[in-house]
Chains A and B, each alone.
Chain A
């Protein structure tokens, strides 16, 4: 048994992939990585699931406050963000497909569009957050609606638990936003590696796995959006 892994031949102009030496075959390497990544996604589900549980609990404890809190959120911006993320999921899936078919230029373009969508999401988030900060709608003890907010939203002080609502809002959207930023970084990394010709039909695993991550980020937002923003 040699110390170096065996090389998988690559199409013309692409970089051949070297299978790590502790794997029997490339297929085993691929399936191991995939399983490992799905397990990571399971931990992410439990991370956000815990936050959702907290939200459901406090929503049932303070129903009126949470309804009022939801009304204070910009649902139109939330809807726009949903559309942006769904579109980015499509372009990410197309990027993976392009990698599988050794279509380098298409893959790079789709990765770029996905990155731009992610940036667009963060821009909308920026406007949302600045509006909240401007009104004084900060989490927990920092929740102090200023005079402008009290005029714009009369009767805010009748709801003593709005600080709790906003604690959950900032935490959940904040952690999700952080995940989007990480995803954007991964997109840049994939683009850089893809440009060098690392991804082709013989080796597209990293694109596949980052794709799974990005779809999970979208999945979480799909649940987060109606829960926080769409108050019946």
Chain B
């Protein structure tokens, strides 16, 4: 039963359109692939070379910047994103944006903490009890919170 249905369908001109649709997908040229792989190998060489010198705080940015450039080449050409549908590009790029959000909030958290300064040996830990005693010993909030001291 299945075979007869399949052969009936195969006879329909409908199917030729589907074959055509598959043909319409972009086929990358060998030249494009060769250019990209050579660029990637060159950028790898650059990454290793640059790491031998110390640019201070810029080290991380340079390394990640070159890596980002390599990533764009791999995503655009090898992964065919340049010729892909908009929605696929949108989804994949959005995942990096969400990752950026993760990094952003992490960074904000790190900057706002005092324990980073302790570890780097720059400051004593913040003493919130002392700070609030100095600022508002008569405030209702201080009186409220001092109930819980020592617990």
Contact = CB atoms under 8 A, between A and B. Distances in A.
Q: Interface on chain B toward A: helix, strand, loop, or mixed SS?
A: helix
Given A219-B71, A223-B71, A226-B67, A7 B95 contact: no
Interface string A47-75: 00110010011001111000000000001
Interface in A139-181: none
A42 interface: yes
Nearest to A30: B22
Nearest to B24: A27
Interface residues of B, number: 62
A97 B37 contact: no
Contacts, number: 167
Given A2-B5, A222-B67, A86 B110 contact: no
A79 interface: yes
Interface stretch (B41-49, B128-136, B141-149): B41-49
Nearest to A218: B74
A84 B103 CA distance: 30
A83 B44 CA distance: 8
Contact of B51 (A27, A202, A232): A232
Q: Interface on chain A toward B: helix, strand, loop, or mixed SS?
A: helix
Contacts of A202: 19, 22
Given A7-B10, A49-B99, A230 B30 contact: no
B92 A226 contact: no
A4 B2 contact: yes
| Residue with the greatest number of chain B CB neighbours at <10 A, chosen from A50, A75, A203, A223 | A223
Contact of A97 (B17, B28, B75, B116): B28
Interface stretch (A88-96, A117-125, A130-138, A186-194): A88-96
